Structure 1
Amino acid sequence: MGSIFLAEKTYLGRVLGAVVIVAGLYMVVCGDEVITINSSDEV
């Protein structure tokens, strides 16, 4: 967003870092959802 609003340069490291963070959060959320679904099936 800084590159859009503040006319900053976009660097590859920033983009890759953002992608890694978003992918990690997605894996945590989906993993938690799968554990919750599997736990409710056993009850």
Structure 2
Amino acid sequence: MIVLSMAGRINMTQAQLTAFVNEQVVAALAAAQAGSIPCSLDSH
């Protein structure tokens, strides 16, 4: 995944890394709810 490969190359504190990943997760969830990507994780 692009997020993980990028994180390995960027020198970040844990808090910055966590915030970065959280933003990616939120964006992915928003995209899934909008139906723009297939989502098989129907937890709600």
TM-score bin (small chain): 0.5 to 0.7
Inter-partner Cα distance in structure 2 for 1:15 and 1:27: 18
* Higher RCO (C-alpha under 8 Å, 6+ residues apart): 2
Which residue does 2:22 correspond to in 1? 20
Structure 2 residue runs without a partner (length 5+): 1-5, 37-44
Q: Which runs of 5+ in 1 are unaligned?
A: 35-43
Report the residue type matching 1:25 in the other structure: A
Q: Say what the alpha-carbon RMSD is for the aligned residues.
A: 2.3
Q: Following TM superposition, by how much is the alpha carbon of 1:12 offset from its aligned partner in structure 2, in angstroms?
A: 0.2
The size of the alignment, in residue pairs, is 29
1:6-40 deviation per Cα after TM superposition (whole angstroms, max 9, x unaligned): xxx52000000001000000000011107xxxxxx
Structure 1 runs (4+) deviating above 2 angstroms are none
Identity %: 10
Larger Cα-atom Rg: 1
TM-score after normalising by structure 2: 0.53
